[in-house]
């Protein structure tokens, strides 16, 4: 019987079978109704929060601030739900041993699973594109008459109504960062589902960790930390929070430290996940 140490050492470098794992996991998401339900509720909540709680229309500003501000909070709840089955499912079904006995590297397994869930999240983000079109439409700088006689007017119309009304480069950057951040949230779920006995435990643990990492950047929490432990402590806490790292990105400012933080976090979670999965094989 091989030890955890052996599996860890032999498998981390191996990304064999990554493709197969990825395709299998994506198919599982597509074929199970759960993913649809989670994503539908996620999109519905995002829409309601943006338009009702965020008062998107009442701000009279053609920007997506009232939309992006909810992303970390919704990810806290919905992405653990998406990721909880990744390993816990295998354990419940008893397929984990089978999986690890296949000629598939541990790295390929972990990354394949993460990327599958990430792809599904990216798909959900793509489904929010109407919101992006909406700000461009509402902010369109000039009224352009669309005439079928004049094909050139179509380009003008598109320019004014589809591309012209918002700060689209900034919005694109925010979308990218939101996607990267989603990967970090998913990686929490992925890693914790490897040590949880079932999906529910995996979900609860993931939401708990995700919430702590999100709320650490909440101004309410930070001002509390400042009052009790001083500014430096608050700064340190803020540096660990997903919320703080998404802050600048929300305005279209790309901070390299946030990119490093999120990718580093994903890397850490994947390594922990590999480590914890390997332990199961002892």
Q: Is 43 in the site for other proteins (CB under 8 A)?
A: yes
**Helix extents (H) in 84-241:** 85-93, 95-101, 106-126, 129-138, 151-158, 168-195, 199-215, 219-229, 231-239
Candidates 43-51, 79-87, 94-102, 105-113: pick the segment binding other proteins (CB under 8 A). 43-51
Q: Is 5 in the site for other proteins (CB under 8 A)?
A: yes
Q: Is 124 in the site for other proteins (CB under 8 A)?
A: yes
Answer for which of 23, 44, 154, 233 binds other proteins (CB under 8 A) is: 44
Q: Which is nearer to other proteins, 17 or 67 (CB)?
A: 67
User: Which class for 143: exposed (0-12), middle (13-18), buried (19 or more C-beta within 10 A)?
Assistant: exposed
CA 279 to CA 271: how far, in whole Å? 12
- 219-220-225 Cα angle (round to 5): 90
Site for other proteins in 130-149 (CB under 8 A): 130-131, 134, 137-143
To other proteins, the closest distance from the beta carbon of 132 in angstroms equals: 10
Q: Which is nearer to other proteins, 48 or 146 (CB)?
A: 48
Site for other proteins in 228-247 (CB under 8 A): 231, 235-236, 239-240, 247
Candidates 15-23, 47-55, 110-118, 145-153: pick the segment binding other proteins (CB under 8 A). 47-55
Answer for which of 63, 108, 180, 206 binds other proteins (CB under 8 A) is: 63
202-234 CB burial, b ≥16 within 10 A, e <16? bbebbbebbeebbbbbbeebbeebbeeeeeeeb
Q: Is 84 in the site for other proteins (CB under 8 A)?
A: no
Site for other proteins in 147-206 (CB under 8 A): 165-167, 169-170, 172-173
168-182 CB burial, b ≥16 within 10 A, e <16? eebbebbbebbbbbb
Integer-rounded Cα Rg, in Å, for the chain is 22
């Amino acid at each position: 019987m091989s030890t955890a140490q052996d599996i860890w050492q032999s498998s981390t470098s191996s990304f064999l079978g990554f493709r197969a794992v990825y395709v299998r996991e994506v198919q599982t998401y597509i074929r199970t109704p759960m993913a649809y339900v989670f994503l539908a509720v996620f999109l519905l909540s995002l829409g309601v929060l943006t338009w009702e709680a965020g008062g998107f229309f009442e701000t009279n500003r053609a920007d997506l601030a009232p939309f992006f501000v909810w992303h970390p909070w919704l990810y806290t709840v919905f992405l653990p739900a998406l990721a909880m089955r990744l390993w816990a499912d295998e354990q419940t079904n008893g397929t984990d041993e089978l999986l690890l006995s296949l000629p598939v590297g541990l790295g390929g397994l972990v990354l394949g699973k993460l990327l599958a869930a990430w792809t599904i999240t990216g798909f959900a983000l793509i489904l929010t594109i109407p919101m992006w079109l909406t700000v461009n439409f509402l902010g369109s700088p000039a009224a352009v008459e669309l005439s079928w006689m004049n094909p050139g007017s179509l380009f003008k119309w598109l320019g004014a109504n589809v591309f012209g009304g918002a700060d689209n480069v900034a919005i694109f950057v925010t979308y990218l960062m939101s996607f990267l951040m989603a990967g970090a949230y998913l990686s929490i779920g992925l890693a914790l589902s490897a040590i949880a006995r079932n999906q529910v435990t995996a979900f609860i643990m993931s939401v708990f960790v995700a919430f702590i990492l999100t709320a650490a950047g909440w101004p309410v929490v930070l001002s509390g930390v400042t009052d009790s432990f001083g500014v430096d402590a608050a700064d340190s806490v803020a540096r660990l929070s997903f919320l703080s790292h998404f802050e600048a990105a929300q305005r279209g400012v790309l901070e390299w430290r946030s990119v490093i933080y999120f990718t580093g976090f994903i890397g850490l979670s994947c390594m922990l996940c590999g480590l914890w999965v390997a332990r199961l094989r002892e």
